[in-house]
Every structure is written in C-alpha cells, then in structure tokens.
A = this chain, B = another copy of it.
Amino acid sequence: MAAVPAVAMNGVKVGSTSQAYLESKAVKDTKSLISDLCRQFYNLGWVSGTGGSITIKAHDDSIPKPQQLIVMSPSGVQKERMVPEDMYVLSPDGSFLSEPAPKPYPHKAPKCSDCGPLFLKAYDMCNAGAVIHSHGMESCLVTMLNPSSKEFRITHMEMIKGIKGHGYYDELVVPIIENTAYEFELTESLAKAIEAYPKATAVLVRNHGIYVWGDSWINAKTQTIGIFMGAFGNQHDPQLDWLLSLSSL
C-alpha cells in the first residue's frame, strides 16, 4: 500500500497512512454522514450557522479504534450548506491527510474546526468513536442559571436512560468548565474535567455550549438528546427545583 505523508497541526510531517484506507468507502461515507448530521443538527438548533461542529472516526472492523482515521467538519462553513467535500481527514495523531479545496468569494480559506484539539483529547482519553460540539441554547442556559456552578445534575428523568451507564434512578452529573477567549484554550480544562468525572460522557462550557462523545456517532447523538431533554425540562418550569441541584464545588 502507498504511504501518504501527513502534516501534523504544528506543520511537521508525522507518519503515514494507507492510501487505500484514505480513499475507502468508510471515509467517503463518514464525510457524507457528517454533512447530513450538520444539516439535521442545524434544524434542531444544536448548531447554528458557523457555530458547533462534529467529528466521527471512519470505522473499519479490522482497525482498532485508536488507529482509525478521523473525519472532522470545517470551521466557518454554514452548517446548513455543508457538503461532504468540506470535510477534513486526519490521522489518529491529528495530522491532516486530506483538506477541502478553497471556495470563491465570499467564502474564507478552508480551516479545520477550532474544536480540533478538544476533539483529539476526547478521542484520546475516552476511546470515543464520535464527538459532537453543540451551541444549543439549552446547553448554554443550564450553565447560566448559577454562574458559579461547576456541575449540571439531573435524576429521575426517563431520557437519561439514553446516557451510557445511567438508569432512571441514577443521577447524571455533567461537569461545567469556564469559557475562554479561544476554543483551543479550553483543551486543558476539558482534559481535567474528563479525569475528574470518569463516568461523564459530556462536558458543558459556560455561556458557550457542550461537548458530548460516545462509542459511535449514534451513541454520541443519543446522549446529546438525553442531556438536552434534561436541560429543556429544567428550563421550562422554574418550579422544578427538585430536579435541579446545581452544586458550587
């Protein structure tokens, strides 16, 4: 198999990957899937124009998840107009293997999602198959209710069954980290939150949104729904205090 030279995010060539895998149906299908999901999530209000992004590993049964190629949505492209050709393909260590072609005015030069370093961290620490970053208003609001809260907690809600390792009587705890001026600056606090909350499959970012990951894109999507439904339930009735116990650690 031919080797493809790869350029890491820091510009240094860092390894190679199989040309066949890069041109495989798995990669092609994953590009289409992300494009489809961007349009769907746009209609759900999970991503808004240029906000939010998605990454999914190009699955191949014969390749262990940590070695699978990563497909990532671009930065600054309107989600509802996303096409498969807009996607980036990265090697497992984050080197760019394939980039979209530039588009004419008024589109800016192609740029990979600003969430790149955070997506790689979730892949690395959680053995994830997919990560969703949403700016959905419900995810912002639960972080705003109490500006000093460090967690969103909810229990006794059917939809949390959709979240890995949780039953109806369990309490779902999602850590909240503080927002920063630039997305990449969130990487360290995201990593710390993942370490501190080993059962969590999501991290909320104050006044900003949420990162949710799962074994597969289906799992990541189902968990996002679970958390949003919980957040929605909280937002739409101020009397539901018994549901909401935001703790300030």
Chain B CB within 8 A of A5 CB = no
Who on chain B is nearest to A56 by CB? B106
Chain B residue contacts of A157, Cβ below 8 A:
140, 207
Chain B residue contacts of A243, Cβ below 8 A:
144
State the oligomeric state as a number of copies: 4
A205 CA to B159 CA, complexed, in Å: 13
Chain B CB within 8 A of A235 CB = yes
Given the interface pairs A59-B105, A135-B229, A216-B105, the reply to whether A140 lies near B158 with Cβ below 8 Å is yes
Who on chain B is nearest to A157 by CB? B207
A168 CA to B183 CA, complexed, in Å: 10
Q: Are A49 and B156 in contact (CB under 8 A)?
A: no
Chain B residue contacts of A159, Cβ below 8 A:
48, 51, 135
Chain B CB within 8 A of A145 CB = yes
Given the interface pairs A106-B218, A158-B51, the reply to whether A235 lies near B235 with Cβ below 8 Å is no
**B-contact bits for A44-67, CB 8 A (1 contact / 0 none):** 000011110000000101000000
Q: Which A-B residue pairs are the 3 nearest by beta carbons?
A: A106-B216, A158-B208, A49-B225
Identify the A interface with B (CB < 8 A). Answer: 40, 48-51, 59, 61, 78, 80, 105-107, 129, 135, 137, 140-141, 144-145, 147, 156-159, 162, 167-169, 179-181, 205, 207-209, 215-219, 221-222, 225, 229, 232-233, 235-237, 239-240, 242-243
